[in-house]
Amino acid sequence: MIGAIHKKAFKSIQTKFVISFVIGAMATLLVAMLVGYAGINTVYKEISRQTMNAELEQVAGEIDMLLSETERLIASRVMLPKSVEKLAGRDKLSVPDFVYAVLNVREEFDNISESFEHIDSLYLYVTEDWFLGMSHTSTKLLYEKKEWPEERITSLLKTADVSSRYAGAKAEEFPLDMQEPACLMMYRSINTRYGKCAYAVNVRESALRERYSGLSKDAVRTVWIVDMEGQILSTVDKKELGNKLALLDESELTEPGMLLREGMVVNYRPLTEYGIVIVSAMPASIYTEGLIGIRNSLFAVFVFGMTAVSVFFVYWIRKRLTPIGRLREGMKMAGQGDYDHPLPVTGEDELSELARYYNHMLEDLKGLSERQEQTATELREREMAMLRNEINPHFLYNTLNTVKCMAELEGNEDIARCVKALGGMIAPLYKTQGALWTLEEEIKLVEKYIEIMNVRYGNGIRCMEHIPKELLNKAVLRFILQPIIENSILHGFASSAYSGRIFVTARQEKKFLVLSVEDDGEGIPEEELAEYNDSLKNGIKANGIGMMNVCRRIILQYGEEYGIHL
């Protein structure tokens, strides 16, 4: 049967037109999307490459400025040829003159290091004989080789020439304390008439890190500064200092470039004049996130365009080829009780005549349905009015009975208080005749009722409310909480001299507004509780009319799935 239906549907002209058009449109839009994506991909990669190169160029410029300024300051103010020559000719000077020469160098070093905190320490190697070491905290003459810097540092100074050179160094390679575990050492030689001297200036690794910290602040991108052999001189992770960078070979460090390696996009920029290379790497997935977003956007446009075109084409075909389909859909809606969709009549043929007869039938059915609905509404309103009139005298009787007891036992002041509260309860009931008012009005009525009960029973009853502010304007049936609270007082607190607490709460659960009334009184035995709930559910009157009245009104107003449950 199902196969026969599918076969019949496929043979229709409408179905064939729709399928052919959808296939052609999908093929056209797909080709356009792929071509567009390829072009955008190329442009995006080029823009990303230029952006990353520009960022590294900026970092390179800042590092170049830092190191060149350091070089200039040390050469022009601290390691002046005449000052170095005096120190080199130590044997030719008197002790006071030698001390004075050392102090002059120290003074200039202090002046510079105060303004340029990235300079950590300075070492002067004098004619293969001794060292002068200076840090922020001390100055020391090192005559014994065991006091000298490590052999690697000493060898670099021995082989230095007049051009500045740079190398990575660690704090443990120097005799004086350093403020950081690693540094970039700038060294060069100075020729004097007493022989060749050389000095080394240690630049803190953190000063380099500050120059590229903006690139790695999001913890996605990693930046290293390495020497020309690939040894890491600076990076955020201090554990990597001194290790060899595995992402690049030494042969790749001489020219700037960009490559994909080990799932990372690696961009590098050498500073050959300083013998260092700035390397940046980030996961390829981050690099392609923008392309993924573009691809998704193109796909969304494809889907939207395909959907829009298909909907339009289907609409056009149906409008011209399927008037009987409209009639079938209209009859289906009418069978479900929807009579507000008459068929359009655009001609004088047999189908148009059939549509006219169908529209007349809809009008008759709609009128009949409205009359039935009006009759049901009138019956429901009459029953609601009867139930309301039934509970109002019941409430007034009990309240006036309270006033009577007070008059006999307490005196005029309490009677005045009670009557005032009663008036506050009765007045809103007769202002409007509608079945609904706000939850806030219902709560105010309950408060007046509790006030009357406290006058009668000696202020032993406390009512605590927990109503979210956004629920106070919810519409509820009038007079649905007072009968329940009255039931709590009369039956729950009878054995405790009418003293106890009542808790009123409200909450929203999807389409339901749930009102809850609880007390700390005696409670109801389980077997009586089940019997009472059955009575409420089945509409059987038990002792008293208050609870049953409220339950019945709720069911009439909202339907069988609503009501009261104890």
pLDDT truncated to tens, each residue of the chain (566 aa)?
A: 444 445 545 555 556 666 776 777 677 767 766 766 566 556 556 666 677 778 888 888 888 888 888 888 888 877 888 888 888 888 888 888 888 888 888 888 888 888 888 888 889 888 778 898 888 888 888 888 888 899 988 898 888 888 888 888 888 889 988 888 888 888 888 888 888 888 889 888 888 888 888 777 666 788 888 888 888 888 888 888 888 888 888 777 778 888 887 778 888 888 888 888 888 888 877 666 666 667 677 777 777 777 777 777 667 666 666 566 666 676 777 666 676 667 777 766 666 677 677 777 777 777 777 777 777 776 777 677 666 655 555 566 566 666 666 665 666 666 766 766 776 676 666 566 678 889 998 898 888 888 888 887 878 888 889 999 999 999 998 889 988 888 888 888 877 777 889 999 999 988 889 999 998 888 888 888 888 888 887 777 665 678 888 888 888 888 888 888 88
State the pLDDT at residue 394.
Answer: 54
- C-alpha to C-alpha distance for 455 and 413, rounded to whole angstroms: 10
Q: Count CB atoms within 10 A of the CB of residue 554.
A: 16
State the pLDDT at residue 325.
Answer: 65
State the pLDDT at residue 1.
Answer: 45
Residue 225 C-beta-side C-alpha neighbours within 13 Å: 33
Alpha-carbon dihedral angle through residues 441, 446, 447, 448, given to the nearest 10 degrees: 90
Alpha helices in 222-288 (DSSP H): 284-287
3-state helix, strand, coil in the chain (%, to 5): 60, 20, 25
- C-alpha to C-alpha distance for 478 and 387, rounded to whole angstroms: 12
State the pLDDT at residue 115.
Answer: 80
CA pseudo-torsion sign 172, 173, 177, 180: negative
The CA radius of gyration of the chain, in Å to the nearest whole number, is 47
Which residues neighbour 30 within 8 Å (Cβ) at sequence distance 6 or greater? 302
DSSP character string of 311-341 = HHHHHHHHHHH-HHHHHHHHHHHHHTT----
- Residue 127 Cα distances to 84, 130, 197, 367, 475, angstroms: 11, 7, 5, 118, 99
CA 123 to chain centroid, in Å, comes to 54
State the amino acid at position 552 in one-letter form.
Answer: R
The single-letter DSSP state of residue 489 is I
Q: Count CB atoms within 10 A of the CB of residue 19.
A: 11
- C-alpha to C-alpha distance for 153 and 141, rounded to whole angstroms: 17
- C-alpha to C-alpha distance for 391 and 483, rounded to whole angstroms: 9
- C-alpha to C-alpha distance for 452 and 406, rounded to whole angstroms: 10
State the pLDDT at residue 466.
Answer: 92
Both structure tokens of 177:
């304390």
Give the residue carrying structure tokens 């009512």: 463
